[in-house]
Amino acid sequence: MRILLCGSIAYDNIMVFPGRFKEHILPEQIHILNVAFLVPEMRKEFGGCAGNIAYNLKMLGGDPLIMATVGSDSLAYRERLERLELSQECVRQVPEAFTAQAFITTDLDDNQITAFHPGAMNYAHLNRVTPDLGVGLAIVAPDGREGMLEHARDLAAHRIPFMFDPGQGLPMFSGEELLGFVGRATYVAVNDYEGKLLEERTGRTLQALAGMVKALILTRGGEGSVIYAGGERIDIPAVPAKAVVDPTGCGDAYRAGLLYGIASGRDWRSTGQLASLMGSLKISARGGQNHWLDRDAIATEYRRHFGRDF
């Protein structure tokens, strides 16, 4: 099944602070915050939600289609997509903009401070979802505000099931708009913090919101994840990582597992287990797209952790 990924393509500038933020931020001085972190290590990586999810779906043998906007500096990313044999038919270049860029600083406790320049993402609404794309499933991941609204409306109008993944874009929307997304979506995926914010903005509990969709997935980092589906709660344990190196892109890897499981008709427990495994495989490598296992290797890891084939 072809899976449409509406979301960002971005360059991630990742810096590592060899200390702890909490030792440098004084709570009583937060109103006059002025801190600087020396970051002797820095890398520039390929990222963005749509790019990361596509990379992980490709590992699984899925059929991803990226829908995103990029800027005049996108040549290196386009060459990478070509090498990975990922279609660029829905990747639109906006000449007057930069490709979206994230500036991420991670401390020794895996806390992150991120500055994000949206750039070409602000033109995401120029891409429109149409039936002739031939997709059977989609995700609306963090992107330009108008693009996320338009793509959700298009997908609902064409009756294409989709997952709403607001991510760091959630604060852009009012409670009414968020309820509109949930009402159109087939699935919702949020992390613990986003889940609390979603409840606060909409005035509804996650359990109530779960009743509006086929499934609501809540990720909780090292504490695993929870899937609310069909009136049931399914607890998915976190898969122990070989090494905890970099959390950047773990949520996208997890969502790739979800989408692959849904597209291949798996039950929610095995889908959640696969998603958890994908997040674990990602966290042991730096950046969002530097871990690579083929489908057979992923199947072997799944069997080792869960005692059955996937």
Residue 236: CATH number of its domain: 3.40.1190.20
What is d(CA 213, CA 218) in angstroms, rounded to the nearest whole number? 13
Cβ atoms of residues 274 and 266 within 8 Å:
yes
- Which entry of 132, 252, 267, 296 is annotated as an active-site residue? 252
Residue 82 lies in a domain: yes
Token readout for 250 is 């773990």
**pTM for the full model?**
0.91
pLDDT of residue 31: 74
Read off the pLDDT band of 111 (50, 70, 90).
Answer: confident
Q: In this structure, what is the dihedral angle of CA atoms 176, 192, 139, 159, given to the nearest 10 degrees? A: -50
Determine the distance from the C-alpha atom of residue 248 to the mean position of all C-alpha atoms in its chain, rounded to a whole number: 10
What is d(CA 78, CA 8) in angstroms, rounded to the nearest whole number? 14
Q: What are the backbone angles phi and psi of residue 187, rounded to the nearest 5°? A: -140, 155
Residue 87 lies in a domain: yes
Residue 113 lies in a domain: no
Least confident among 14-18, 27-31, 121-125, 203-207: 27-31
Token readout for 296 is 């057979």
- Order of strands, edge to edge, in the sheet holding 90-93? 90-93, 63-70, 2-6, 137-140, 162-164, 187-191, 215-219, 225-229, 232-236
pLDDT of residue 30: 73
In terms of residue numbers, what domain contains 262? 2-9+48-91+121-306
Helices (H) and strands (E) in the chain, counts: 9, 13
Segment 153-173, tens digit of pLDDT: 999 999 999 999 999 899 999
Q: How many domains does the chain have?
A: 1
Residue 30 lies in a domain: no
Q: Is 252 a catalytic residue?
A: yes
